[in-house]
Amino acid sequence: MRISEITRKTKETDIELKLDLDGSGKVSIDTGIGFFNHMLTAFAVHSGIDLSVVCRGDLEVDGHHSVEDIGIVLGKAICEALGDKAGILRYGSAYIPMDEALAFCSLDISGRPFLVFKAEFHDQKIGEFDTCLCEEFFRAFAYNSGITLHIREEYGKNDHHICEAMFKAAAHAFKAAITQNSDGSVLSSKGVL
């Protein structure tokens, strides 16, 4: 079973996260940041995982600590749930349109974390979510999950659409990469990831 449950408490955030990579899309998200709840819900639904997140963060400061720390915890949970990464297809790529916006994601669950992020947002906020935190989330997610992650906005005008297309592209690429292969082997010429 590819499941994980992580609790992380710091002076800035208190997070409880549960995930099941072979779930049915059951989602319960409460971060205190409405738009970020929406993005994590989209990621879970479109990747087909069960995800529960409760975060109590220092939102009186801003959303940075909550968003980054959830990226850390989600990344660690995915790394734990995948174990030695045997039996997965490892790679995934997806283009996702959302109205006038188009986003692309390509990733490799390699154990070698890296992020290439390219997007130009037009406003500082989407609701109470600082648009600059989109990159912070994906960086924390990539580095703590051991994923090489390339994600970019192809084009778009509406920041909500751009950000949501990016989260959904990441979800569909992730779904492809965690799909189980036919023989349970590690997809690497080295025999290990």
* Burial bucket for residue 147 (CB in 10 Å: 0-12, 13-18, 19+): buried
* Nearest residue to 83 (alpha-carbon basis) of 174, 186, 173: 186
Element (H, E) at 46: helix 34-47
Least trusted range by pLDDT, from 48-62, 95-109, 137-151, 176-190: 176-190
Q: What percent of the chain has pLDDT over 90?
A: 92
Each domain of the chain, given as residue ranges in start order, spans 3-177
* Burial bucket for residue 176 (CB in 10 Å: 0-12, 13-18, 19+): middle
Q: Looking at residue 89, what is its pLDDT?
A: 96
Residue 192 CB: number of other CB atoms within 10 A?
Answer: 9
Could you report the per-residue pLDDT of 105-154, keeping only the tens digit for each?
999 999 999 999 999 999 999 999 999 999 999 999 999 999 999 999 99
Regarding the domain delimited by 3-177, which CATH topology (the fold level of the hierarchy) does it fall under? Answer: Ribosomal Protein S5; domain 2 (3.30.230)
* Nearest residue to 90 (alpha-carbon basis) of 100, 80, 98, 82: 82
